[in-house]
């Protein structure tokens, strides 16, 4: 098979090899296979050792050659790693006994002498050919030359990754950060990737790597899910929405360098503590949560324009959170959670009744006020900055999917956090606080209508999240999110008690009652 992308990297010494291995470690993920080819003595084991040490975060980790054991395994903080050496394999039939495919299911597999594996190698992989370079002499006292080069050939997803690695290095060079120390940062369930960058004499920044996402398969009226749900497909909304939030005094990360064509940003690193981490260690969340509610009041009252100019001269318009978007999100329950829990797809009658029930309650969120909805306004995306003032004490990230709709959505996202427990009393007190402030400061504000909208949109959100977490497990192989299902189901049950949700409450009672959902 011909590679889809190639790149050659000079490796003049051991330091360069270690630096290359570190950069490579920023891109590998469970399920990857990296094949190291080359003659004896070209540095295959040296590169494998450096890559494993980079993933382990331990430059002194003992990494013996697996020439005689054939396989060495490692548990690193990010993933399991199998280091395989096929030099002593006599024929390809022996490779099947090693179980390469099983290893690669949820781990990184590094293979030396991959040509001996025959057809056992996956089509989706990175080939690295290591070769001595014909340099003659390196000018040292003994006249020796020890320079090598690595030729990368990307297949499958690695084709784009090889090109991406080069694009990022070019971006960092143009931004003056080529010499920065780069460190992998754990992201969320999205396709975005982050690195922490440190450069002497500069304030630390983050690299946001958000390549434009291709359209998925059409799911309705010839459109993919992302278009109907109004999910960000590139970095443009990050730039536009973050700028608007900063202009009204909120703490969205500043942007230090931007390449919108390639989806690359250098952004401010908000130096505070993530709300979720605070809650898990038992910190007093009273002040941070109240400040987070104040941020939502500020957004609701700001009258932010839907269209903003971008640095490249184009505009970005925040899309509406319309009925189609709400319905396709809620429908994730039927698409993923129902079969996950019940083992079969819902009947046509059940699906029709589901849609009809939601359509009966949508008017509660389609009348009255609208505002920007940041959409993922919850503990993983809020950062406490106590040294700042007022609403600026709340750092806000992950707002690229913002839409325009009823402002109750973000309040529900905060007060019914899918990843941490929010006591019902805390939810009640902060909802009362939000309503009291707006009633006092905005004549004519309808608190009862807001409560009804809050119940409906919170129920829609919980319904969507049940589907998303089931999808993450079934489609994406991420079962860790299942531990949140009971919490989200309890939130849903709480919302269903509101009189505005009668038809939806009846549907869940008939088809997916609480005892089945948890």
Q: How confident is the model at residue 2 (pLDDT cuts 50, 70, 90)?
A: low
Q: How confident is the model at residue 1 (pLDDT cuts 50, 70, 90)?
A: low
CATH fold group of domain 5-133+146-174: Rossmann fold (3.40.50)
> Cα-flanking dihedrals φ and ψ of residue 82, to 5°?
-115, 125
Q: State the CATH architecture for 272-517.
A: Alpha-Beta Complex (3.90)
pLDDT at 135: 57
pLDDT at 4: 72
**222/205 Cα distance (integer angstroms):** 40
For the segment 233-271, what is each residue's pLDDT rounded down to a tens digit?
A: 999 999 999 999 999 999 999 999 999 999 999 999 999
For the segment 122-156, what is each residue's pLDDT rounded down to a tens digit?
A: 999 999 999 998 655 444 433 344 689 999 999 99
CB of 278 within 8 A of CB of 218? no
What mean pLDDT comes out for the span 155-171?
95
CB of 162 within 8 A of CB of 154? yes
**86/69 Cα distance (integer angstroms):** 10
What's the pTM? 0.90
Q: How confident is the model at residue 109 (pLDDT cuts 50, 70, 90)?
A: very high
The yes-or-no answer to whether 5-133+146-174 and 272-517 have a common fold is no
For the segment 432-466, what is each residue's pLDDT rounded down to a tens digit?
A: 999 999 999 999 999 999 999 999 999 999 999 99
CB of 337 within 8 A of CB of 484? no
For the segment 387-407, what is each residue's pLDDT rounded down to a tens digit?
A: 999 999 999 999 999 999 999
Q: Which residue has the tokens 């990368």?
A: 152
Range in 5-14, 104-113, 183-192, 235-244 with the lowest mean pLDDT: 183-192
Closest C-alpha among 132, 114, 97, 109 to residue 31: 109
Domain ranges (residues) in the chain: 5-133+146-174, 272-517
Q: Which residue has the tokens 């809650």?
A: 279
Q: How confident is the model at residue 3 (pLDDT cuts 50, 70, 90)?
A: low
Q: How confident is the model at residue 111 (pLDDT cuts 50, 70, 90)?
A: very high
**53/516 Cα distance (integer angstroms):** 45
Range in 61-65, 101-105, 494-498, 508-512 with the lowest mean pLDDT: 101-105
pLDDT at 139: 43
> Cα-flanking dihedrals φ and ψ of residue 422, to 5°?
-115, 115
pLDDT at 213: 84
What mean pLDDT comes out for the span 190-199?
90
Closest C-alpha among 202, 203, 184, 204 to residue 194: 184
Would you say residue 21 has pLDDT above 90? yes
What mean pLDDT comes out for the span 2-22?
88
pLDDT at 140: 41
Alpha helices in 44-136 (DSSP H): 44-56, 93-98, 100-103
Higher pLDDT, 324 or 216: 324
For the segment 350-378, what is each residue's pLDDT rounded down to a tens digit?
A: 999 999 999 999 999 998 899 999 999 99
pLDDT at 97: 78
**395/486 Cα distance (integer angstroms):** 28
Name every residue whose Cβ is closer than 8 Å to that of residue 473 and which is 6 or more positions away in sequence. 340, 479, 481, 482
Per-chain mean pLDDT for the chain: 93
Range in 117-126, 292-301, 403-412 with the lowest mean pLDDT: 117-126
The share of the chain scoring above pLDDT 70, in percent, equals 96
Whether the CA torsion 343, 348, 349, 351 is positive or negative: it is positive
Q: How confident is the model at residue 216 (pLDDT cuts 50, 70, 90)?
A: confident
């Amino acid at each position: 098979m011909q590679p889809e992308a190639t790149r050659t990297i000079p490796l003049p010494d051991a330091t360069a090899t270690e630096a290359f291995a570190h950069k490579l470690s920023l891109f590998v993920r469970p399920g990857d296979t990296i094949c190291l080819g080359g003659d004896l003595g070209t540095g295959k084991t040296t590169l494998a050792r450096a890559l494993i040490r980079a993933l382990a975060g331990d430059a002194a980790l003992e990494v013996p050659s697996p020439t005689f054991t054939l396989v060495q395994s490692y548990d690193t903080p990010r993933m399991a790693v199998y280091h395989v050496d096929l030099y002593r394999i006599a024929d390809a039939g022996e490779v099947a006994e090693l179980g390469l495919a099983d290893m690669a299911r949820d781990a990184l597999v590094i293979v030396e002498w991959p040509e001996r594996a025959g057809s056992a190698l996956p089509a989706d992989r990175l080939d690295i050919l290591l070769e001595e370079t014909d340099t003659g002499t390196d000018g040292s006292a003994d006249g020796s030359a020890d320079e090598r080069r690595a030729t990368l050939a990307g297949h499958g997803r690695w084709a784009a990754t090889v090109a991406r690695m080069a694009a990022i290095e070019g971006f960092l060079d143009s931004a003056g950060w080529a010499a920065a120390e780069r460190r992998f940062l754990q992201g969320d369930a999205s396709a975005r990737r982050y690195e922490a960058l440190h450069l002497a004499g500069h304030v630390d920044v983050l690299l946001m790597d958000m390549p434009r996402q291709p359209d998925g398969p059409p799911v309705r009226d010839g459109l993919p899910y992302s278009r109907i749900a109004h999910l960000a497909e590139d970095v443009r909304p990050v730039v536009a929405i973050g700028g608007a939030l900063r202009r009204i005094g909120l703490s969205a990360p500043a942007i230090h360098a931007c390449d919108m064509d390639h989806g690359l940003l250098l952004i401010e690193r908000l130096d505070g503590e993530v709300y979720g981490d605070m809650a898990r260690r038992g910190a007093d969340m009273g002040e941070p949560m109240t400040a987070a509610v104040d941020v939502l009041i500020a957004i609701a009252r700001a009258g932010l324009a839907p269209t903003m100019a971008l640095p490249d001269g184009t505009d970005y318009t925040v899309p509406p959170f319309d009925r189609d978007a709400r319905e396709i999100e809620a429908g994730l329950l039927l698409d993923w959670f129902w079969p996950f829990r019940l083992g079969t797809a819902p009947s046509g009658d059940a699906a029709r009744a589901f849609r009809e029930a939601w359509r009966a309650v949508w008017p509660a969120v389609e009348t009255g006020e609208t505002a920007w909805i940041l959409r993922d306004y919850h503990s993983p995306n809020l950062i406490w900055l106590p040294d700042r003032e007022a609403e600026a004490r709340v750092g806000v990230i992950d707002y690229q999917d913002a839409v325009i709709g009823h402002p109750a959505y973000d309040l529900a996202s905060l007060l019914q956090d899918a990843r941490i427990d929010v006591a019902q009393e805390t939810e009640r007190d902060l909802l009362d606080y939000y309503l009291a402030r707006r009633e006092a400061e905005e004549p004519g504000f309808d608190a009862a209508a807001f409560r009804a909208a809050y119940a409906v949109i919170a129920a829609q959100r919980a319904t969507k999240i049940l589907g998303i977490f089931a999808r993450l497990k079934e489609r994406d192989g991420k079962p860790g999110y299942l531990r949140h299902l009971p919490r989200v189901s309890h939130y849903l049950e709480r919302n269903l008690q509101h009189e505005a949700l009668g038809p939806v409450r009846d549907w869940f009672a008939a088809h997916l009652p609480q005892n089945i959902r948890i």
